[in-house]
Amino acid sequence: MLVDFVPAAQPETEAVKERRDAEQEKLAGNQLKIKEARLPVMVIFEGWNAAGKGSVLGRVIRNIDPRFFQVATMEAPPTEDEKRKPFLYRYIVEIPEAGKFKFFDTCWMREVTDGVLRGTAEKADYKSRIRDINTAERQLTDNGYLVVKFFFHITQKEQKKRLDALEKNKDTKWRAKSGDFWENEHYDECLEVYDTYLEDTSRQVAPWYIIDASDRRWAEVQVLTYLNQAIDIALQNNSYNSLILQNRFRLEPMPLLKEIPLDQEISEEDYRKELKELQGELGDLHNRLYRKKVPVIIAYEGWDAAGKGGNIKRITGALDPRGYIVHPIASPEPHEKARFYLWRFWNRLPKTGHIAIFDRTWYGRVMVERLEGFCSENDWKRAYNEINEFEKMLTDWGAVLIKFWVQIDKDTQLARFNERQNTPEKQWKITDEDWRNREKWDLYEDAVNEMLQKTSTDFAPWHVLESVDKKYARIKALKIVNDSIKKAL
């Protein structure tokens, strides 16, 4: 792509100036249209050092109301904290919310190509990052995002001229970094790496636009024109449905809920004994995984009143409070609802060596959001694959990912609801919504069965906790957690 690209900078004529003004005005109008249509717009600026990304970005946003856009500057390498998250984390947390622009001053491209050029990335790393990036861009566009990608292109000679000029001037000298000169001296090598990346990540749903950046004012016209054009098209497609991709992952066979025997029990005595042993072991394991920097994610789903809370308590009871966090997941807040549905979970990922426990999870997409119509049919049908891809990224990163379905039968739920209702200090635990959900038990059971069948991958299988005897379920959970962590250590 770059190799074939021919700069075609137009001189700054009156016509070019008029076109730039017209496109600026159009963008000012488009900011209101995307707000109204709740379209999230992610604009990525990549390119050669000193190609003028920053100054063009500054001019592009000039006419947008500051309430409607943000800029994410990603040029600095990941911090120590960010290095303890999956590669995509620091970018995903920055995605725009519905109705707003987010401009990325470099994004995931830079980190990948730098890795190749510095020789710090293996070929397999490169391939897996390209796959993750294409997956992320597809997930975002499938979920209604507009992703517009610009690569700012200048020649080796032009770059040299600019860097020399920066360095000569003592006020701008700090901006001409040694890495920039390195890039200029190894221009051909960099060109090949950039070109390969652009080819590998060019897709109809999120194509690259190469910007001839030899003239900054002309670069601005191009960026504005492509951006407005893409927004116009995205606004026309507000109810687009994507094809549902086939599952690509190895699935573990799962029983149907109704086939699961629920008569398992444990005696009080055995319970106390095993609890003590297992919690002791988990405490030790927690220290070891902290030192070995293994991240652990424990996901709880299950019927209302199935005993998730008490189960989680028996896990956390064994843990050093500085090394874990419990995330109770309720309905999304407005700022969460305004973003890609997996965003609030990306946002809550643990650092390496830490444990994050989710009390309800991203599986809400294929349960409550599906059944209550909070998302479209196309949305939840795509979600099985999107969730499997998300969990694959987590386990590829090295996470131990444990998923529990806490199972009870309908009668047990009724008994527990009634007990909550009739016990003053437990009444806070039961709401009208719980009763309403209970009426949809059969619909939920179908949805849960489909979820268990379609998302129990070999890298992130579901574990059913039979929780009519809550103590039995707690011991089983602790055993699975301990075994899973031991395998990873």
Q: Which two tokens stand for residue 222?
A: 């191009």
Q: How far is the CB of 210 from its own copies (least distance, A)?
A: 6
Return the number of the residue (153 or 344) whose C-beta is nearest its own copies: 153
Beta bridge partners of 148: 43
Q: What is the 3-state secondary structure (H, E, C) of 156-169?
A: HHHHHHHHHHHHHC
The SS3 call for residue 201 is coil
How far apart are alpha carbons 246 and 248 in whole angstroms?
Answer: 6
Q: Cα–Cα distance between 443 and 449 in angstroms, integer?
A: 10
Residue 160 Cβ, how far from its own copies at the closest point, in Å? 24
The CB-of-233 to its own copies minimum distance in angstroms stands at 5
- Distance from first CA to last CA of the chain, Å, rounded? 44
CB of 236 to its own copies, least distance (A): 5
Is the Cβ of residue 316 or residue 395 nearer to its own copies in the bound state?
Answer: 395
Least separation in angstroms between residue 434's CB and its own copies is 33
3-class DSSP state of 389: helix
Residue (205 or 260) nearer to its own copies, CB: 205
Chosen residue from 208, 290, 358, 380 binding its own copies by CB under 8 A: 208
Question: Cβ distance 201 to 208 under 8 Å?
Answer: yes
Kind of pairing, strands 296-302 and 400-407? parallel
Q: Which of 19, 203, 348, 440 binds its own copies (CB under 8 A)?
A: 203
Q: Are 464 and 403 in contact (CB under 8 A)?
A: no
> Which of 228-236, 343-351, 465-473, 476-484 is the region at the interface with its own copies (rule: CB under 8 A)?
228-236
Binders in 129-168 for its own copies, by CB under 8 A: 138, 141-142
Distance (Å) of CA 57 to CA 39, 69, 72, 434? 20, 12, 11, 50
Q: What is the identity of the amino acid at 481?
A: V
Task: For residue 124, give the amino acid letter.
Answer: A
Q: Which stretch binds its own copies (CB under 8 A): 162-170, 206-214, 342-350, 427-435?
A: 206-214
Select from 199-207, 343-351, 363-371, 466-474 the region that touches its own copies (CB under 8 A): 199-207
Q: How far is the CB of 410 from its own copies (least distance, A)?
A: 24
**Which residues, listed in sequence order, are joined to residue 404 by a DSSP beta bridge?**
300, 463
Nearest-angstrom CA–CA distance, 238 and 146:
11
Bridge partners of 361, per DSSP, are none
Name residue 388's amino acid: N
Residue whose CB is less far from its own copies, 208 or 397: 208
CA 395/CA 389 separation, integer angstroms: 10
- Which lies closer to its own copies via its Cβ, residue 1 or residue 166? 1
Q: Which is nearer to its own copies, 230 or 481 (CB)?
A: 230
128 binds its own copies (CB under 8 A): no
Pair 459, 397: CB distance under 8 Å:
no
CB of 252 to its own copies, least distance (A): 10
What DSSP state is assigned to residue 461?
A: -
User: Minimum CB separation from its own copies for residue 417, in Å?
Assistant: 33
Dist. CA 303–CA 438, nearest whole Å = 9
Range in contact with its own copies (rule: CB under 8 A) among 35-43, 200-208, 417-425, 431-439: 200-208
85-96 core/surface letters (b: 16 or more CB in 10 A; e: else): bbbbbbbbbbbb
Binding mask 343-382 for its own copies (x = CB under 8 A): -----------------------------------x----
Minimum Å gap between C-beta 319 and its own copies is 35
Residue 476 CA, distance from chain mean position: 30
Residues 62-121 close enough to bind its own copies by CB under 8 A:
none
Q: Give least dist CB 248 to its own copies, A.
A: 6
Least Å distance, CB 225 to its own copies, is 10
Can you state the percent helix, strand and coil of the chain, rounding each to 5?
A: 55, 15, 30
Residues 229-268 that bind its own copies (CB under 8 A): 229-230, 233, 236-237, 239-246, 248-251
The residue among 5 and 181 lying less far from its own copies, judged by its C-beta, is: 5
Smaller CB separation from its own copies, 32 or 244? 244
CB within 8 Å of 372: residues ≥ 6 apart:
none
Give the count of residues interacting with its own copies (CB under 8 A). Answer: 34
Q: From the list 54, 115, 207, 310, which residue makes contact with its own copies (rule: CB under 8 A)?
A: 207
Residue nearer to its own copies on the CB measure, 210 or 357: 210
| Binding stretches for its own copies (CB under 8 A) | 1, 4-6, 8, 138, 141-142, 203-205, 207-210, 226, 229-230, 233, 236-237, 239-246, 248-251, 378
